[in-house]
Amino acid sequence: MSQDYQPMLVSMSEITPSLHLSLLNNNNDAHAIDSFIDQILKVKYIPLPVVTVGALSHCYKIIFAFWKELNKAISFGYSSQSTTIVMSHISNCVSYEAIKSVSSLIAKNKCNILLPTFLMYKALCLDTFASLTQLLEKIRQQKTIIQTIPLTFTVLYGGLLTSLSYALPSLKESIHSNIIDRVNDISCGTPPYGETSPMLDADKKISGSSMYISDEVHLKAIHYMPFRSRGEFVASVLRGSILFVSETKCETLECSDDFQDFINEFIKWRTSSWKSNEWRDITYIMCEDAMIKKMPKEFNKTLKIYAHSTNLYDIEKVIFLSDYIKRCLILLVGLHPNFVIDEHLDIESLLTIIKIFITTDNAEALTNLLILLIELLPFLNGNSRKRVVFDLLLEQYFRYFFMHWCDSVQFAFQTILLYRITLARFSKLDCLHPKELQLYSSRCRVNYNSLSFDCNVVKRMNERIELLKDILKHLEPNDKNFIPLKRSMMIFNERRKEYELNSKKYNGGALPKISFFRPESLE
């Protein structure tokens, strides 16, 4: 376990000497580092498993040497092949988790031996800011480059700027004042300005020392250059704040008034962006990705934007949204399954978005929607499950999906009916496996009995199928609905036989954690 981080240090140690020599021989050549990108990409940042003074000192000695060369590389200028990758690695060096241990030990008077390590860390943060300034100056001088810089550069820059502010008090104050001063129509705060951090605690502790490094770093006009709008600046700084805050302080930060004001400003700008031609701006998308990873409650606020500000006649945007929401919610249930199980997901906004997809009747959007439901339904519970499974799928839109003109939509809906409509095997609800019973018991809530609900679901589904069979018997062959309904029923009957065959594989055997088995076509 204690050797887990060694590959990271070995990778850095191997590349640093040759990187240093190349940069020395190619002074001010922005492309000097391009040939090292494959090696740099092999560096994986692994947390330090054992926090000791010796391990911290040894680890940072190697990181600092590597980091110093990366700073030098970006100061040479912009390279489309390497700059964003190098900035990403610098950001990882700045926010490497072990510095919090170094800072905590110093702040608590437990280890003065680590003081040089902390001071070198702060010096390199200052060097990074200076290198960024040089990079931006060179970009601004070459107007042709500005037009080609990808939005990922802006996102990385915003995150790096925020992580640097946790080590440099003057930069932290500068970000705060610039956010406050540049707001015209609403009042907002800034992420953890009122909050402290281990690094700022350590900085304050040694501020009277003769070894103290004073930083006078402030955002100037040049440092706003990567941001095309005020909204991009807010989104980038917000993303950096969410990703950089520690897990222990994440909830405190999220509940603070300043942070909520900042979130509100982000929502304002994202709404404006979504209604404009810049609706695909990756700066906002990556901020929302950070919300999903660490603050899923805040992602509910962006769902409201998509529910109430989406033009259903803009098919390109609707298709994009269907794919985006699918990816977001699949990531959400992967990282925070209990968030959905405990009904914290904004189901009203989600249902509104679903109905937008249905209204457009676009095959790609509907396929994305049903694939999302295949992944989401195992986690929906209580009233949320009633709204989606019973009201939406079995009542309001059953016939619409069952007889849909697009094969992929029809196939996905039948997959839901056979494999996801209940929490366990719908054909075995009267003789459940013990693990299935345990699952149902864990999902019961006040006024909601999960097994009783699923029994009603199976009953209603069978009623709908039988009703369609009766309709088919009475339809004339020349009726426009005869062929589509007959074809849909034949396909469903074949797939039901496949389901029964698959179901037998699990009789008496071990079941998955959430007891759904997937048809081979979905593996």
Q: Which pLDDT band holds residue 430 (cuts at 50, 70, 90)? A: confident
Does residue 143 surpass a pLDDT of 80? no
- Top pLDDT among 424 and 85 is at 85
Q: Could you tell me if residue 37 is inside a domain?
A: no
Rg (the chain; Cα; Å): 28
Q: How many CA atoms lie within 13 A of 212 on its CB side?
A: 14
pLDDT score at 62: 95
Q: Could you tell me if residue 211 is inside a domain?
A: no
Entry pTM: 0.81
Amino acid occupying residue 304: K
Torsion (CA) 459, 464, 466, 470 in degrees, nearest 10:
150
pLDDT score at 203: 83
Number of domains in the chain: 1
Q: Could you tell me if residue 225 is inside a domain?
A: no
Mean pLDDT, the chain, rounded, equals 87
Which residue, chain included where needed, has tokens 């006024």? 447
pLDDT score at 431: 84
The average pLDDT across 369-379 equals: 94
452-481 burial string, b = 16+ CB within 10 Å, else e?
ebbeebeebbeebbeebeeeeeeeeeeeee
Q: Which residues contact 192 (CB under 8 A, 6 or more apart)?
A: 241, 245, 249, 253, 256, 258, 259
- Top pLDDT among 244 and 286 is at 286
Query: Which domain covers residue 463, as residue numbers?
Result: 367-523
Q: Which residues contact 133 (CB under 8 A, 6 or more apart)?
A: 222, 223
H helices then E strands: how many in the chain?
25, 0
Q: Could you tell me if residue 252 is inside a domain?
A: no
The average pLDDT across 207-216 equals: 78
Q: Which helix (H) or strand (E) holds 458?
A: helix 450-474
Q: What digits encode the pLDDT tens for the residues 159-198? A: 899 889 888 888 888 887 776 655 443 333 344 555 567 7
**Taking phi first (over 0 means left), then psi (-120 to 50 degrees means alpha), and beta for anything else, what does residue 508 get?**
left
Torsion (CA) 82, 84, 85, 87 in degrees, nearest 10:
120
Q: What is the DSSP string of 357-388?
A: HHHHT-HHHHHHHHHHHHHHGGG--HHHHIII
Q: Could you tell me if residue 455 is inside a domain?
A: yes
Does residue 78 surpass a pLDDT of 60? yes
Q: What digits encode the pLDDT tens for the residues 218-244? A: 888 888 888 888 899 999 989 988 888
Q: What digits encode the pLDDT tens for the residues 407-427? A: 999 999 999 999 899 998 888
Q: What digits encode the pLDDT tens for the residues 145-162? A: 877 888 889 889 998 998
Q: Which helix (H) or strand (E) holds 174?
A: helix 169-181
What ranges make up the beta strands (E) of 147-286?
none
- Top pLDDT among 166 and 294 is at 294
pLDDT score at 513: 41
Q: Could you tell me if residue 48 is inside a domain?
A: no
Q: Could you tell me if residue 421 is inside a domain?
A: yes
282-309 burial string, b = 16+ CB within 10 Å, else e?
ebbbbbbbbbbebbbebbbbbbbbbbee
Residue 484's φ and ψ, nearest 5 degrees, are -60, -40
- How many percent of the chain have pLDDT more than 70? 92
Q: What's the distance, CA 194 to chain centroid?
A: 26
Q: Which residues contact 91 (CB under 8 A, 6 or more apart)?
A: 156, 159, 160, 163
Q: Could you tell me if residue 8 is inside a domain?
A: no
Does residue 2 surpass a pLDDT of 80? no
CA-to-CA separations, 33 to 150, 281, 322, in angstroms, rounded: 19, 29, 39
pLDDT score at 490: 96
Most confident of 46-55, 60-69, 107-116, 240-249: 60-69
pLDDT score at 186: 35
169-202 burial string, b = 16+ CB within 10 Å, else e?
bebbbbbbebbeeebeeeebbbbbbebebbbbeb
Q: What digits encode the pLDDT tens for the residues 485-519? A: 999 999 999 999 988 887 776 654 444 443 344 43
Q: What digits encode the pLDDT tens for the residues 106-123? A: 887 767 788 889 999 999
pLDDT score at 285: 95
| Alpha carbons 347 and 344: distance in angstroms, whole number | 8
CA-to-CA separations, 463 to 3, 395, 398, 419, in angstroms, rounded: 60, 11, 11, 18
Torsion (CA) 422, 428, 429, 430 in degrees, nearest 10:
170
Q: What digits encode the pLDDT tens for the residues 304-362? A: 999 999 999 999 999 999 999 999 999 999 999 999 999 999 999 999 999 999 999 99
- Going by C-alpha positions, the residue among 453, 430, 428 that lies closest to residue 515 is 428
The average pLDDT across 10-28 equals: 92
Judge whether 60 and 120 are in contact, CB under 8 Å. Answer: yes
Both structure tokens of 412: 């996905």
pLDDT score at 523: 32
Q: Give me the helix-helix angle, 98-107 and 115-141, nearest 10°.
A: 130
